[in-house]
């Protein structure tokens, strides 16, 4: 395949270049569409490296018209590392335990069950489901891959926010303040109490972990705001009003529109995001439409998170999110 270089709108050559894929940025700060790849076929190491580079450059990448099977979805994911089970507290498909299927109805049921606030604080008024995947474990997944199986003609969009840009947008005194802080993440909103035993014998929780409030990206070395409104209960060492005020400030900053991209799904679309650097929310309008919608997700195994001061995440309750044995 010939060399392909991403271009800015003015036609000037961008510093982001790729040899085996075509990359079209969606916004200047986050999101790009990748073409020139047929995921029905195994991708070679060079193409996988280009996709990973685009993922680190643009934080989330979008593929269109990928009519792939569950096995092909998993094969694509394995090009970037070992797959995890579908979810720490939810079963995957019976024949594909790595795949988590979500429907609009499940979103509604889950959200209504999760209305109770995490212990110690209420979610921000503009929460709207923003989260990083699976931070209630000490080693949340590295990447997330989501495939559209049943997509309505409108509605069901997903928002993504660049947490590296959010951190860099903070003033220097605030960055200095939060660089050495840790926060507790827990599964309180997921209501795992009374869950049925899993087929794979894994625990259904609860899970509680202690994470740095600022994370060092393990692959790029960048600092980012490691913030999950859905699971953080409090910042360690601060009084409750201080913790709440600081978290509200950081939640607001992390979800500013200038750090976001909005993805409109079409059938067979596929999205890959760097869960080490991105928060997302979706489907953002699930309560306002009743059309069928189903997506399938796989996740790539991740490492313990590390802060600028060297603090490494600790599991306080529950096991690590290990790969399938």
Q: What is the pLDDT of residue 11?
A: 42
What residues does 279 pair with on adjacent strands?
A: 161
Q: Which two tokens stand for residue 172?
A: 């220097």
CA dist 135 and 151 (Å) reads 27
Q: Is the peptide bond before 291 cis (omega within 30 degrees of 0)?
A: no
Exposure string (b/e) for 265-276, b if CB count within 10 Å is 16 or more?
Answer: beebbbbbbbbb
CA dist 81 and 63 (Å) reads 19
Residues recorded for the chain: 325
- The DSSP bridge pattern shows strands 214-216 and 223-225 to be antiparallel
Q: What is the pLDDT of residues 88-111, one digit of tens each?
A: 888 899 999 999 998 876 655 555
Q: Which two tokens stand for residue 118?
A: 């995490």
Q: What is the pLDDT of residues 136-171, one digit of tens each?
A: 999 999 999 999 999 999 988 999 999 999 999 999
CA dist 2 and 57 (Å) reads 20
Question: What are the C-alpha distances in Å from 266 to residues 107, 145, 150, 158, 303?
Answer: 19, 15, 9, 12, 32
Mean pLDDT of 104-122: 54
Annotated active-site positions, please? 131, 133, 280, 297
Q: What is the pLDDT of residues 266-319, one digit of tens each?
A: 999 999 999 999 999 988 787 777 788 899 999 999 999 999 999 999 999 998
Is residue 101 within 8 Å of residue 294, measured between CB atoms? yes
CA dist 26 and 262 (Å) reads 9
With a cut of 60, say whether residue 22 has pLDDT above it: yes
Q: What is the pLDDT of residue 12?
A: 40
- Output the DSSP codes for 252-310: HHHT-GGGEEEE---TT-EEEEETTTEEEE--TTGGG--S--EEEEEEB-----B-TTS
With a cut of 70, say whether residue 250 has pLDDT above it: yes
Q: Which of 67-76, 117-126, 195-204 has the highest mean pLDDT?
A: 67-76
Task: Work out the number of other CB atoms within 10 angstroms of the CB of residue 146.
Answer: 23
């Amino acid at each position: 395949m010939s060399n392909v270089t991403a271009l800015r709108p003015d036609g000037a050559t961008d510093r982001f270049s790729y040899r085996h894929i075509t990359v079209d940025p969606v916004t200047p700060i986050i999101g790009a569409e990748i073409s020139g790849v047929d995921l029905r076929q195994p991708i070679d190491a060079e193409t996988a490296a280009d996709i990973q580079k685009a993922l680190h450059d643009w934080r989330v990448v979008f593929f269109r018209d990928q009519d792939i099977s569950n096995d092909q979805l998993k094969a694509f994911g394995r090009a970037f590392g070992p797959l995890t089970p579908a979810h720490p507290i939810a079963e995957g498909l019976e024949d594909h335990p790595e795949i988590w299927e979500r429907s609009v109805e499940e979103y509604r049921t889950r959200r209504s069950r999760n209305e109770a606030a995490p212990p110690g604080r209420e979610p921000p008024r503009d929460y709207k489901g923003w989260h990083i995947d699976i931070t209630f474990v000490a080693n949340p997944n590295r990447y997330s891959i989501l495939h559209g199986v049943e997509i309505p003609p409108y509605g069901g969009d997903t928002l993504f926010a660049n947490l590296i840009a959010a951190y860099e947008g903070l003033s220097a005194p605030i960055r200095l303040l939060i660089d050495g802080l840790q926060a507790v993440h827990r599964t309180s909103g997921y209501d795992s109490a009374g869950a049925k035993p899993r087929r794979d014998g894994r625990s259904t929780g609860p899970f509680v972990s202690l994470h740095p409030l600022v994370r060092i990206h393990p692959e790029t070395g960048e600092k980012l705001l490691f913030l999950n409104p859905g699971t953080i209960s409090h910042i360690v060492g601060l009084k409750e009003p201080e913790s709440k005020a600081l978290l509200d400030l950081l939640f607001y900053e992390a979800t500013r529109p200038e750090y976001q991209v909005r993805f409109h799904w079409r059938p067979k679309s596929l999205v890959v995001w760097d869960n080490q650097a991105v928060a997302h929310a979706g489907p953002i309008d699930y309560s306002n439409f009743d059309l069928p919608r189903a997506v399938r997700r796989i996740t790539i195994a991740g490492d313990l998170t590390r802060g600028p001061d060297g603090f490494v995440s600790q599991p306080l309750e529950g096991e690590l999110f290990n790969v399938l044995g």
